[in-house]
Amino acid sequence: MKNFKRVMIAMLAVLAVAFSANAQFRFGIKAGVNISSLSVSNLGDNFSSDNRTGFTGGLMTEFTVPIIGIGMDASLMYVHRTDNIQQGTTVAGISLPSTKGDYLEVPINLKYKLGLPIVGKIITPYIYTGPAFAFRCSSKAINAAWEKKAVDVAWNVGIGLQLVNHLQIGAGYGFGMNNTLKFVGNPGDFQAGKTGKNNSWTITAAYLF
């Protein structure tokens, strides 16, 4: 947690430098797909998680320090996720159904754009990393024994291309940092004490004005 706080402070410092350096500020729209995978701890091979496709869309802002190419972006996104854990053959009568959920997600990324000579105004590669905070806005109940938590926290890493200075196409992976599932059933149940984290791939396209 201390390291996480240090990273957040460093990212805020970059943002402050961006403002002081008359950084380029842009905003736009962003949309894409996410492929989620839900992992449940301590269940061995009895349960396996399918990859399920959802979608995302919203607004994005970007600050970039001229010349050096370092900046930040932040988005407000609606995210629909679908996860599915299939029951194995050795544990009868215990399963988790499809866990659909709607979220408002706020990803905040530190971004570095690699300026290329000659073609830099046409195509610019970039990398990014940062936290994402997803606030659940759908029902928390999965079944009588499991609930979703109110907030998912992930750490994103990704790459992308900026085309003709306006269109950004990116692909990233989000590592779940907190337990997204909570067991609320009988304390003596086989599933008691088990937790689940959500990891996901995301592919997005953003148009910045």
Report domain 2-208's class.
mainly beta
Residue 201: band (very low, low, confident or very high) from pLDDT cuts 50, 70, 90: very high
Distance CA 10, CA 6 (A): 6
Q: List the structure tokens of 142.
A: 């999965």
pLDDT (tens digit per residue) in 22-58 = 568 899 999 999 998 777 665 544 454 566 789 999 9
pLDDT (tens digit per residue) in 170-189 = 999 999 999 887 767 666 56
Phi, psi of 35 (to 5 degrees): -120, 105
Q: List the structure tokens of 138.
A: 């759908």
Average pLDDT over residues 60-82: 89
pLDDT for res 196: 75
Closest CA to 107 of 70, 155, 71, 150: 155
Q: List the structure tokens of 172.
A: 């990233």
pLDDT for res 205: 98
Q: 152 near 176, Cβ under 8 Å? A: yes
Q: Is the pLDDT at 70 greater than 50, yes or no?
A: yes
- Annotated domain spans of the chain: 2-208
pLDDT for res 194: 66
Closest CA to 205 of 164, 160, 175, 141: 160
pLDDT (tens digit per residue) in 83-99 = 655 444 333 344 555 56
